[in-house]
Structure 1
């Protein structure tokens, strides 16, 4: 049975380092491992609002925009996440 595990760290610096490198854990053998920072109610509500804003913005993208980027919540901020390098997008726009 798969269950969540809560890990408490002694140092805030250790938490920041782990959160910065968490993407490297999700390789081929460990796709089911997720590392997420524990949030209080206020942080959780803020992230929920940001996720709904991202969903709304993603729904309003044009077909060309859908090929190039999508909106996502990263580090408690709404970010534009490019599917291809910006240089490739610029070259395609020129041609």
Structure 2
């Protein structure tokens, strides 16, 4: 489904809050992405393949993070320890 939003402020707010969908079991299979032209889609495809390669080559020391494509850039994404997640759930 494609949705057009006239307000750039609304777009930025939606894009900032889209990560919360992953935490919601009812909407887990839903994604929100910006509309991209062919050139941007190709760049993103190359970046995604780079992330897969980098994630496969991580050493044991590097297992506390993985690579992701965020805003058309490669970024390190640090994993939380299970104790931290459980501790936060109790608070």
Coarse TM-score class (shorter-chain normalised): 0.7 to 0.9
**CA offset digits 1:16-40 (Å, max 9, x no partner):** 1111111123312221221111111
Instruction: Determine the C-alpha separation between the residues in 1 that align with 2:53 and 2:70.
Output: 16
**CA offset digits 1:17-70 (Å, max 9, x no partner):** 11111112331222122111111111111111111111111121112312x011
**Regions of 4+ moved over 6 Å:** none
Query: Who is 1:19 aligned against?
Result: 15
Instruction: Determine the C-alpha separation between the residues in 1 that align with 2:37 and 2:8.
Output: 16
| Structure 1 position 32 matched with structure 2 position 43 | no
Query: Who is 2:72 aligned against?
Result: 76
Instruction: Determine the C-alpha separation between the residues in 1 that align with 2:29 and 2:53.
Output: 27
Q: How many residue pairs align between the two structures?
A: 81
- The structure where helix makes up a greater share of residues is 2
5+ residue gaps in structure 1?
Answer: 89-95
TM-score between both structures, scaled by the size of structure 2: 0.78
| Structure 1 position 44 matched with structure 2 position 44 | no
5+ residue gaps in structure 2?
Answer: 85-91
- Structural RMSD (CA): 1.7
Structure with higher Rg: it is: 1
| Structure 1 position 64 matched with structure 2 position 82 | no
